[in-house]
Structure formats: structure tokens, C-alpha cells
Chains A and B, each alone.
Chain A
Amino acid sequence: MDRILIIEDDPETAAAVRHEAEALGCATDHRDTLAAGVEAATTGQYKVIVLDRMLPGGDGVDAIARIRAGGSTAMILVLSALGRAANRVEGLEKGADDYLPKPFEPEELRARLRALLRRGTIQVLDNDLLAFGELEIRLKARTVHVKRNHVPTSPKEFDLITYFARNAGQVVTRMQLLENVWNLHFDPGTNVVDVHVGRLRRKLEEAGATAIQTARGEGYIFAPLSA
């Protein structure tokens, strides 16, 4: 069973995180100060650490280096009220694997946790060919084929389908797409990503692959039907 460490001083947030983690089948530990959190992180075996920033004892982001130096190989998800683009970029630059601003929707947290848990296990995805039944993605050539027919994609559409493919079977949120495909760390207000996903989905469907589904209220799932 994967273990998740929650370093968070707000009990309600901690409870919400624990709820999502347990829903994913993980065991959780909770610490509510930075010192205790770093202590636990460096002594226990955790897959993912959910780290708050403005904690009693200091800023969680500043402790990432210490957690790494202590030998932890856990994926670190910073979960913080410091949610402006500058804060998020700072957290990622200081070594966080993902950064989710508060307030967060439970679905968003679940998607992030799932992605991190997967990233912790499947690290080798560098084979050139990603194949899902009749849908084939060639990474080096940057081409997509459905039933051996070439599906023309724009560079961003290719990045999009690659990101989907790497998280196949999982809910991927709009925020994740914006962060990972467009490298933008702010909320543009409009659901601008939908148009891109819609276009890609249409292209795939025209070629005969219903690969992308909408997960209502959550995001999208890339689940090609393996024929």
C-alpha cells in the first residue's frame, strides 16, 4: 500500500486530503508543523508528500531541499494558499513536482495525486511508440496514426495528445493541461483549453478513435478503446 504524508496545519484541509488519498487506496500520515513534517518525510517511506507552505515553523517550499537531502524520493505536491502564478513558479523551481493552490476542488487534488502516484512507479516512458489499440503515437517523428491513417496535428495538439497518453485512463483536469502543455500557471478565466481538446477529439473521432472523454465537472479522460 502506498503511503502519503500530509504536512498541513489546517485540520479541515488535512481531512480533505486524507479523504482523497484514502479514496485512492493509500495510507496517510499527518503532521501539522514543518519540523515534524520534515522529520517524518526523511525517516518514513512515502510515495507522495502533500506539503503546505505557511506552516508553523516556516515555508514548506524552503524545506523541499532538506527533505531531498534527507534521502526522500517521494513526489512532492505543494498545496498552498499562495496561489498566484509567481508563487507556483517559485514552488516548482524550488523542486516541487506539482503545485496546487488553495482552494482546490477535491477532483483536482485526486487527479494530481493519481498522476504523482503513477509518476512514482512508471518512470520509463521513453520508448518511441505509444500504442493504444489502433491509435499510435510516435514521439520522435511527432506523428499520430489511427488505423494506420495519419492524423495531422498542430504542435500543441501533439503535446496535448502526448500528455493525455502519458496519463491514459486517468482524469486530467483543465488546470493540469494548462500547466503541463502550455506551461501557464494562472487561471485565464475562460475555459480556453476546451476548444483545443474539442478540436483534437474531433480529429481523432473523424479518424475513427473515440479516445478522449469528458469527465463531467472534473476534466477529461484519455481512454482509447482497445479494439
Chain B
Amino acid sequence: MTTARPIAARATLRLAALMALAVTVLSLAAMALQYRLVEIRLMAAQQTLLTADLNGLAALYDQRRIIALRQAIDYRATAATGEEMLLLMDRDGQPLAGTRQDWPATLAPAGEDFTSDGAVEFSEGNTRWLAVARTLPGGFPLLVARSLQPVDDTLAALRRGMLGLIGALLVAGSAVGWLAARSVMGRINRINALADQVAEGALDARLPGARSEDEFGLLETHVHAMLDRIENLNRATHRLSDTIAHELRTPLNRMLQKLAKIEGQDDLTADLKAEMRQAIRMFDSLLDISRAEADQGTGGGLVPVDLSATAAEVWDLYDPLAEDKGLLTEADITPGLRILGDRNLIAQVLSNLIDNAIKYCAAGDRLTLTLTPHHDRVLMRVADTGPGLPDDLRAEAFDRFTRAERDRNIKGHGLGLALVRAIAARHGARLTLPPTERGFALEIRWPRLQQSD
């Protein structure tokens, strides 16, 4: 019951996390698009600058060729901002003018025009450059490049900003998710607690306070309607069995009173009384079975019972009867085993089983009762070496009114094992018919009550 809560909380948190993640992924996509656009625009701007540089140099070259270029580059180099790279060399590879003295190793000159077509990127140190490398007529290598550092700086700042934003989104998403989960859990826990109460048998438990006008309020209303219906059905079942009892026993009572007035036919009246007693027993068993089935799963009405003591008492009650019939009896009862139960129902189970064994066994047969702890259960085993169950009856042995053809002559109504099963189920106990070499054996594993004090 309590283990269900962390799982439910996880489900809500998972949903919240999914929401946060979805929002983050969408924002990330939007930002990536924006990033890409900014990158393209910045690169285009650098390209424009480069083209402008080249156009200027082309104009000078048109006027006075290499000399003008050399002067202009010299002039530009002295006022270098670090954002541009210029280099002019002579035929022998000696620098004529520029912001640097050597030709970058990774760059090969191509073409001899002054357009920015075929501009290439190259890196030197930590800086990227957009460069145009030409060999001017006469074999003068010319390098004009624009630093991409401003672009990279801007993009880096943009990335940092995006990263921060995503972090903030995740944190906010988690926080909202956690808060939502907490509030949802609070309301679900109310309903869970109610379900626990009902499971423990308090069919009349309801949530206090007014319903809120949201989906949770609706859920609570539905749960309440369901519980009302279950409670009514349960009450009707109980009332019906009371009414049956009343309507059947009252006329039987009148019959019995009249029977007492008959004189001189003692044997006949004794027979009739015995028949009536059998009929009442059968009918009590039927009511007990349906009541146990109606109460199954609810822990209501069950109290701590010393199963060992109860078993010993019922055993002691029947032991002399078994001995008188010539059975070899043996009880092995571990003392102090406690369960949550109804003492009279448990006694009825044992009484039915032991009485059956005594009825069906013959002198010399063995009858044993064992009660031992078995993990978190108490194992009760009643076994005998009598005729056992006919194989064709094993499957339906626990059905009402099942009796073997060969047992026609033995008194009984075929409700004993059905009642045993219903009472076991009422206690949440597991019932099995283990295979035996000879005779009949039945095991009931009762949920054990842990000693708390």
C-alpha cells in the first residue's frame, strides 16, 4: 500500500520532466535557427568588408600598379587594427609591404583578379581569417584577409547566452514540475489514503471537506459514488443473510417447539431433531460462506489471534474422539504464532478438517496436525492416511455440495471444504492440496502477524 506512493510521484515527475524537456528542445531549435542566421549575416558582413578592401586596392593598382599597392599597404599596416591582414611580396618571395613578413603556410595563391570570389577561411593561432590570395601579374603574391575574430566573439557570446538560457529553462521547468508534482501528489495521496482505509475494511470512510471544481474534485466524487455503491451492496448482502436466517429459523423454531410436545415416539422425534440440526448446520455454513466471501479482502472484524493456542484447543477437543476411533494422532504446534483473524472462524476451519479426517479414516490410520512458521506465513497442515480424495474430485473439492459417490453413507453436506476455502480467503490465507502418497493433506498458509510487542 505504501510502496505505491513513490511510483505515483515518479509518474507525475516524469510528466513534468517531459514537459520541461519539450519546452527546452523547442527553445533550443529556435535559438539554433537564430544562431545560424546571425552567423550567416556576420560572415556576409566580413565578406563585404573584404570586398571593399579589395576594391580599394584594385583602384590603386589600376593607377600605379605595384608601387601604389605597396604604399597603400604600408600605410594601412602602420595603422593596423589587427582585424585585417595584408601582405604583398615580390617575385622572389620577399615581403614588400604588409602586416606580416611571411606567407601563411596553409594558403596557396590562386588567380590574379581583385574580386572576393573564392575567398577561403584559414586559421592561424586562435584566429580564423577570411582570405583572398592572388598572384598579381608579374608574379607578385598578394594576401588580403579579414579577421573572423569579431564574428567568433559575437557567436561565442551568443552561445554563452543560449547555454545560460537553456540552463534557466531546465531549472524553471524542473521547479514547476516539482511544484506541480507536489500539489498533484498531495491530492492523489488523499485518495490513496482513502483507498487504504477502505481496503482495511472501513467501507464507510470518505474524504472530508468540500470537493474542488476540477478534475480531482470530479475524481473524488466518482470514488465516493463508487464507495457508496459498494457499501450499499455489502450492507444488502449482510441484511439479506440476516433476513434469510430470520425467515427460515422462525418457522423451524415453531416446528421444534411442537416436536417437543409429541410424547411416546422418542426415537422418531430424536431423528427429526437431528435432521433439523443438520439442516441448520448446512444453512449456517452457506451463510458463513457467503458472508466470508462478502468480507473477503476487507480486514474489518479481524483481530490478533493466537493461532497456536486456537489450534491446540480444537485439537484437544477432537483428539480423544480420534483416539477412541483408533486413529494414531500427532500434533506438532509451534507455540506463540499469531495472525489477524476471527477465532471462531479459524476454529471452524480446524473443526471441519479434523472432523472430516476422523469421519473418513479407519482404525490404524494416522492423523497429524502441524503448525509451523514459514517465512512471513504460518503453515497449517492437516494430513491423514485415510482414503483421500478420489482423483476425479480434486478439481472441484472446494465447490459447494461436492461429495464423492463412495461417501454416500457418511453423514455430511459437502460444504465443509467450501467453508474452509471461504474462511481461508477471508483471512488472506493460501490454501493448497499437496500431493500425498496416501490419504488426504491440506495446507493453509496464513499471513503471519509480526510480533510488535
A residues near B, CB below 8 A? 10, 12-13, 16, 54, 81-87, 89, 101-106, 154, 156, 182-190, 192, 195-196, 199, 217
**B280 adjacent to A187 (CB under 8 Å):** yes
Cβ-defined partner of B242 (8 Å) among A13, A54, A217: A54
Interface 1/0 per residue, B302-325 and A, CB below 8 Å: 000000000001101110110010
Chain B, range 253-307, C-beta contacts under 8 Å to A: 253-257, 260, 266, 270, 273, 276-278, 280-281, 284, 287-288, 291, 301
Interface of B is mostly: helix
**B249 adjacent to A101 (CB under 8 Å):** yes
Identify the 5 closest CB pairs spanning chains A and B, nearest first: A103-B253, A81-B249, A85-B344, A103-B256, A102-B253
- How long is the Cα–Cα vector from A60 to B148 in the complex, in angstroms? 100
Smallest distance from the beta carbon of B164 to chain A beta carbons, Å? 71
Question: Hey, which chain B residues are within 8 Å of A13, CB to CB?
Answer: 250, 253-254, 257
Question: Hey, which chain A residues are within 8 Å of B342, CB to CB?
Answer: 86
Cβ-defined partner of A186 (8 Å) among B317, B348, B411: B348
Instruction: Given A81-B250, A83-B249, A195-B324, check contact A186 B344 (CB 8 Å).
Output: yes
Closest to B260 in A: A106
* B355 on the A face (CB < 8 A): yes
Q: How large is the interface on B (under 10, 10 to 19, 20 to 34, 35 or more residues)?
A: 35 or more
12 A/B residue pairs, CB under 8 Å, sorted by A: A81-B245, A81-B246, A81-B249, A85-B288, A86-B345, A102-B253, A103-B252, A103-B280, A156-B317, A184-B344, A187-B280, A188-B355
- How long is the Cα–Cα vector from A86 to B351 in the complex, in angstroms? 16
Question: Hey, which chain B residues are within 8 Å of A217, CB to CB?
Answer: 266, 270
- How long is the Cα–Cα vector from A165 to B199 in the complex, in angstroms? 47
**B249 adjacent to A199 (CB under 8 Å):** no
Instruction: Given A103-B255, A195-B324, A199-B320, check contact A82 B246 (CB 8 Å).
Output: yes
- How long is the Cα–Cα vector from A10 to B382 in the complex, in angstroms? 44
Smallest distance from the beta carbon of A9 to chain B beta carbons, Å? 9
* B347 on the A face (CB < 8 A): yes
Question: Hey, which chain A residues are within 8 Å of B314, CB to CB?
Answer: 184
**B250 adjacent to A102 (CB under 8 Å):** yes
**A54 adjacent to B246 (CB under 8 Å):** yes
Cβ-defined partner of A196 (8 Å) among B255, B317, B345: B317
**B344 adjacent to A190 (CB under 8 Å):** no
Question: Hey, which chain A residues are within 8 Å of B348, CB to CB?
Answer: 85, 186
Interface of A is mostly: loop
Looking at A85, A103, A183, A195, the one whose CB has the most chain B CB atoms below 10 A away is A103
B residues near A, CB below 8 A? 242, 245-246, 248-250, 252-257, 260, 266, 270, 273, 276-278, 280-281, 284, 287-288, 291, 301, 313-314, 316-318, 320-321, 324, 342-345, 347-348, 351, 355, 358, 411
**B347 adjacent to A186 (CB under 8 Å):** yes
**A86 adjacent to B291 (CB under 8 Å):** yes
**B317 adjacent to A182 (CB under 8 Å):** yes
Instruction: Given A103-B256, A182-B313, check contact A190 B355 (CB 8 Å).
Output: yes
**B249 adjacent to A12 (CB under 8 Å):** no
Closest to B342 in A: A86
Question: Hey, which chain A residues are within 8 Å of B351, CB to CB?
Answer: 184, 186, 188
Question: Hey, which chain B residues are within 8 Å of A106, CB to CB?
Answer: 257, 260
- How long is the Cα–Cα vector from A16 to B252 in the complex, in angstroms? 13
**A89 adjacent to B246 (CB under 8 Å):** no
Smallest distance from the beta carbon of B417 to chain A beta carbons, Å? 14
Closest to B249 in A: A81
**A104 adjacent to B253 (CB under 8 Å):** yes
Smallest distance from the beta carbon of A192 to chain B beta carbons, Å? 5
Smallest distance from the beta carbon of B290 to chain A beta carbons, Å? 11
**A195 adjacent to B321 (CB under 8 Å):** yes
